[in-house]
Structure 1
Amino acid sequence: MPHRCVIPSIGRPRYPTSQSPRPDRCPLQRFTTVVRRFQPTLPCTPFRVSTTDQESPPLASELIHAILLLGAPGTGKGTQGAILGQVPGFVHQSSGDIFRSMDPNSEIGKLFRSYSEKGELVPDDVTIRIWKQDVDRRIAAGTFRPTSDLLVLDGIPRTPSQAKLMNELLEVHSVIHLSCKDEEALVERLRKRAQKQNRPDDAKPDVIRRRLEVYREETRPVLECYDKSIIHKIDPLGTPATVLRDILSVVAPIQADVLGNALA
């Protein structure tokens, strides 16, 4: 069964008439704040799409059918997401690709780099804004059709707060958790990948270990936002073909059940 984030504190917060939410804790007012650890008790106003943004048409009125790829850096989320994206009916959306394609000299590009170069997470409101605009562009261009495609999300949501902000837009059918207990194997994977891609800063051991630490503290708790029945743990250290086989055993039936008529 599809599942949406079950923690209600942020989705539709209610405040006593004598109390209003603090401005510094509202998503759209934190563009220049430092990254904060997520605290479930903090109130937060739901993210809303601006109807005045001429470059970003509104999202489809129906919830977007989605599958999440969740795992620490180096577990192969991008590899598996890209493969799935080649299968008709699946559209891969990598937050990393979206961020890296931004103009580094733009205001939002500089803001992103100020965090990523230190291995820190980008603030949630900035991440959701960039993600939402990319989805809108895909819909407008016809490369993503919400009624006949499953959106494969890779790298987002990265925090429970993001999961809640996206809750009103997504219907999550499965969370593929690429789970690896061998941290040294991930460190070596990330080091080799950064060297191959000529990204020397990302190959530094201290930066790699900081990224893994941030994942444990900030991203892994996203699993708690979804029912255990839709979370599927998969070993990412097998061959790409073996990992793909395991993922397909989960997502292929979902595609048939959710979009069967649209794909016929």
Structure 2
Amino acid sequence: MSEESRHRHNAVLIVGAPGAGKGTQGKVLGTVPRFFHCACGDVFRSLDTRTELGQQFVAYSSKGELVPDELTVDLWSVQIDNWIDTSRYKPDIDILVLDGIPRNVRQAEILEDHVVVHRVIHLTCPNREELARRMRKRSLKEGRYDDASDEVIAQRIETYEEETKPLIEFYDGKVADIDATKQPIEVLSDMIAELVNMDVYKDMANVIV
């Protein structure tokens, strides 16, 4: 393992448009030995609002404002430390599966002080109609009927593409495109086949615990 990796958390990043199955695949991957799923949404939901950082988060979220990138990463870092303290996440043998963070290049730049991103799994779904169908189905299933409109779905896809293209370019050379239109088990198989070939995974897989 490189000296660089010893001082920062080893990580892989999953990116994909809404409806591409990013969250589902991330959760399943997190059940595979040596991988620990870290969804940004879980970080915010587990936030202690009595802390100083928690109060800062509430100050923005209660007004419907975007949380600044620096604060987002700070909140993430605190939760990672909590998971380490409770032994849920073991950085010496676990690879972080980042889901929902970083969302943009600025967050990626800040995160470089905390993690070494070894691979970016890009769940691709070039068929916009299929993507819209999945998003509509999920919104209706969760009772978010306003989110099922064509206008809202088109806007979410456009926003995702605007944010993600620069992020993919930022991680140039580390990106693996995975076809998200396949059956979920096939998508997972393609992801695992890509990740188990990483040197950092091979190093950790040989650790006896």
TM-score by length of 1: 0.68
Indicate which of 95, 109, 112 corresponds to 2:61: 112
Runs of 4+ displaced beyond 4 Å: 100-107, 113-116
Post-superposition Cα deviations, 1:177-231, rounded to whole Å, max 9, x if no partner, equal 1111111211221121122122334333333222212111123311111232x21
Partner residue, 1:249 = 193
**Does residue 96 of structure 1 match 2:58?**
no
Say if 1:89 and 1:263, in contact at 8 Å, map to a contact too: no
Aligned length in residues: 203
| Larger Cα-atom Rg | 1
Q: Within 1, Cα distance between the matches of 2:155 and 2:67?
A: 14
1:144 and 1:101, CA in 2 relative to 1: closer, same or farther beyond 3 A?
closer
SS at match of 2:98: strand
Indicate which of 194, 201, 205 corresponds to 1:260: 205
**More off after superposition, 76-85 vs 127-136:** 127-136
**Does residue 166 of structure 1 match 2:115?**
no
Structure whose residues are more often helix by fraction = 2
Q: Within 2, Cα distance between the matches of 1:218 and 1:256?
A: 29
Q: Percent identical across equivalent pairs?
A: 40
Amino acid at match of 2:190: D
Q: Within 1, Cα distance between the matches of 2:80 and 2:55?
A: 20
Indicate which of 159, 168, 171 corresponds to 1:226: 171
Post-superposition Cα deviations, 1:45-101, rounded to whole Å, max 9, x if no partner, equal xxxxxxxxxxxxxxx972101011011111111011000111121100111233345
Structure 1: stretches of 5+ with no match in the other structure: 5-59
TM-score by length of 2: 0.85
Structure whose residues are more often strand by fraction = 2
Indicate which of 211, 229, 238 corresponds to 2:182: 238
